[in-house]
Amino acid sequence: MRQQIGDEPDPAVGDEVVAVVAPHASILPGWFPPIGRNRLPSVDDMKISILGTGNMAAAVAQAWIGAGHTVTIAGRSADKAAELAGRLGAYAAAPSDAAAGADAVVVAVSWDGVPDMIELAGGSRGALRGVPVLDCTNPVDFGTGAHRLATGSAAETIAAQATGASVVKALHLYAGQMWLTSQERPRVVAMCGDDEAALDVVGRLVTDLGGTPVAVGGLDHARQLEEAAGFVVSLYGKGVDPSTAIPSVG
Ligand SMILES: NC(=O)c1ccc[n+]([C@@H]2O[C@H](COP(=O)([O-])OP(=O)(O)OC[C@H]3O[C@@H](n4cnc5c(N)ncnc54)[C@H](OP(=O)(O)O)[C@@H]3O)[C@@H](O)[C@H]2O)c1
C-alpha cells in the first residue's frame, strides 16, 4: 500500500514507501528558478512521477519541484529512489505504484532499461492507461549517433508496451542540467504525440521548466525527433556545436 501523494508524509505507512519527504523541503544549493518561465494561471500544480533515478531524473525533478509541482521518484533500486527523493524534497515509491494518482509519468531510464522499467511500472497490465507518459529517452548510439532501432521509435515502443498510455516524446534533446541554468535565448522543445490532452499536459511541464513547447505531429514523428538527437550527438562528437549546423530560416 503506497501512501497517496498529497497525504501528510508518514514514513511508517508501509514498506513500499521507500522515502517520504515533505515536498519542497530542500532544494539543492545553487538552484534558481528557470528564467522566462511562463506559468499558465489556470494550471494547478501537478503530480509528476519519474521512472528513473539517474542524472535526467534528478535534474527535471529538481526543476519541477522548484516550479511548485509534487514529484515522486520511482527506480528499480528503492535505495536510490529514497536517496534522491530525500535529497530533493520529493516522494519515493515503487515503480508499480508510480502511476497511481499521477498527472504525468516520465520515463527517464537508459534505453536498454526501458522495457524492464515499463514492465515494473505495470505498463503491460494497463497501469499507465490514460496517463500522459513523457518519454525523454535517447535510443541512439552515443558513439556514432545511429538510431538503435531498425524501424519505429522508442516512444512508439513504449506506447506498444504500456497498454493505453498516452505517450508524448519530449525533452530528449536538452541536457537535464540545462533546465537548472539561466537561458539567453528560447529553448524550443519539439514534441509529438497522438493525444491532445497529453500534449497539453507535457507542454505545461515543458513551460514550467522554462522551455517553449512546440508539438510537431503525432507519435509517428517520434523517430524523426529521436534521429535529431543522433544528429546532435554525431556533431558534438566532431567537436561542433550542433546549433551552428542548422540554418536560420525565416
Ligand atoms: N542526462 C541528461 O541530461 C539527459 C537528457 C535528455 C535525455 N536523457 C535520457 O534520459 C534517460 C536517462 O538518462 P540519465 O542521464 O539519467 O542516465 P543515468 O544517469 O545513467 O541513469 C540511468 C537510469 O536508468 C536506470 N536503468 C538502467 N537500466 C535499467 C533497467 N534494466 N531497469 C530499470 N531501470 C534501469 C538506472 O537505474 P540504476 O541506477 O538502478 O541502474 C538509472 O535510474 C536516457 O534515455 C537518456 O538518453 C538524459
Residues 6 or more apart in contact with residue 123 via CB below 8 angstroms: 158, 161, 162, 163, 165
- The alpha carbon of 112 and the centre of ligand 1 are apart by a number of angstroms equal to 9
Q: Average pLDDT in the 78-93 region?
A: 98
Residue 158 alpha carbon to ligand 1 centre in Å:
15
Q: How far, in Å, from the CA of 54 to the mean position of ligand 1?
A: 5
User: Residue 237 Cα, ligand 1 centroid: separation in angstroms?
Assistant: 20
Q: For ligand 1, what atom is nearest to the CA of residue 173?
A: 6
Query: In the numeric block, which cell numbers belong to residue 134?
Result: 513523457
pLDDT classification of 177: cutoffs 50, 70, 90: very high
Distances (CA, A) of 216 to 14, 24, 95, 188: 43, 34, 30, 11
Summarised one tens digit per residue, pLDDT across range 9-24 is 333 333 333 333 333 3
Q: Residue 142: which region, alpha, beta or left (left: phi > 0; alpha: psi -120 to 50)?
A: alpha
Per-residue pLDDT tens digits for 178-194: 999 988 889 999 999 99
Q: Residues 144-173: what's their mean pLDDT?
A: 98
Q: Give dist(CA 49, CA 115) in Å, integer.
A: 17
Please give the number of the atom of ligand 1 that sits closest to the Cα of 175: 3
Instruction: Work out which ligand 1 atom sits closest to the CA atom of 171.
Output: 6
pLDDT tens digit sequence for 41-83: 335 799 999 999 999 999 999 999 999 999 999 999 999 999 9
Spacing, Cα 234 to ligand 1 middle (Å): 20
Percentage of the chain modeled with pLDDT above 90: 80
**Sheet hosting strand 188-193, strand order edge to edge:** 91-92, 70-74, 47-51, 104-107, 132-135, 166-169, 188-193, 212-217
Q: Is the pLDDT of residue 106 over 80?
A: yes
Distance 108 CA to ligand 1 centre (A): 6
pLDDT digits (tens, 9 = 90+) for 198-238: 999 999 999 999 999 999 999 999 999 999 999 999 999 99
Q: Are 105 and 49 in contact (CB under 8 A)?
A: yes
Instruction: With cut-offs at 50, 70 and 90, classify the pLDDT of residue 164.
Output: very high
Percentage of the chain modeled with pLDDT above 70: 83
Instruction: Give the sign of the dihedral formed by CA 210, CA 215, CA 220, CA 221.
Output: negative
Q: Which atom of ligand 1 is nearest to the CA of 58?
A: 16
| CB neighbours of residue 165 within 10 Å | 27
How many angstroms separate the first and last alpha carbons of the chain? 55
Q: Which of 53, 62, 105, 110 to mutate to test the pocket of ligand 1 (most atoms within 8 A of CB)?
A: 110
Query: What average pLDDT does the structure give for the chain?
Result: 86
Q: Which pLDDT score, from 0 to 100, does residue 44 have?
A: 77
User: Would you state the CATH architecture of domain 47-242?
Assistant: 3-Layer(aba) Sandwich (3.40)
Q: What angle do CA 246, 196, 205 make, to 5 degrees?
A: 65
Q: pTM of the entire structure?
A: 0.87
pLDDT of residue 4: 39
Q: Closest Cα to atom 32, ligand 1: which residue?
A: 113
C-alpha neighbours within 13 Å on the C-beta side of residue 128: 35
pLDDT of amino acid 188: 97
Nearest residue (by CA) to ligand 1, atom 1, is 56
Residue of 106, 109, 157 best suited for mutating to test ligand 1, as the one with most atoms within 8 Å of CB = 109
CA–centroid distance, residue 142 to ligand 1 (Å): 13
